[in-house]
Amino acid sequence: MSGVRLHHPTLHSCVMAVEHTKPYVTPILCPTCQKMHVNKTYHLYLDDKGDVIVSESVLEHLKEVGMAGLNIENKVSNPPKIILGLQGEQSVFTIREHKLGDAK
């Protein structure tokens, strides 16, 4: 399955939480950031260059909420495998929240 590399021009080495407009049936306590989410939220793990690889379906959802300051870099035909929820030490990342309409 291919992916798409996105880049944020100012953020790097952090988890960027991008909130969508799609509400959950009931608010959930997020196991990733330990905050309550009322809408679908994507947690993007930006590397030390500000890059993240996402699926094409996640890219389409990000486009629906304005991309949160991310730029499309290129397609990645063979992205590295990930295990959901195990992206590294949570303590080394800073959570940055972006909601609909945020430019940065």
User: Domains of the chain: which residue ranges?
Assistant: 3-98
pLDDT at 75 over 70: yes
Alpha helices in the chain (DSSP H): 56-64
List Cα–Cα distances, 6 to 9, 39, 66, in angstroms: 10, 22, 13
89 pLDDT tier (thresholds 50, 70, 90): very low
Q: Supply the pLDDT for residue 91.
A: 33
pTM strictly above 0.85: no
Tokens describing residue 62: 């990000």
**pLDDT, position 71:** 96
Tokens 């509400």 sit at which residue?
23
Place of tokens 């499309």: 72
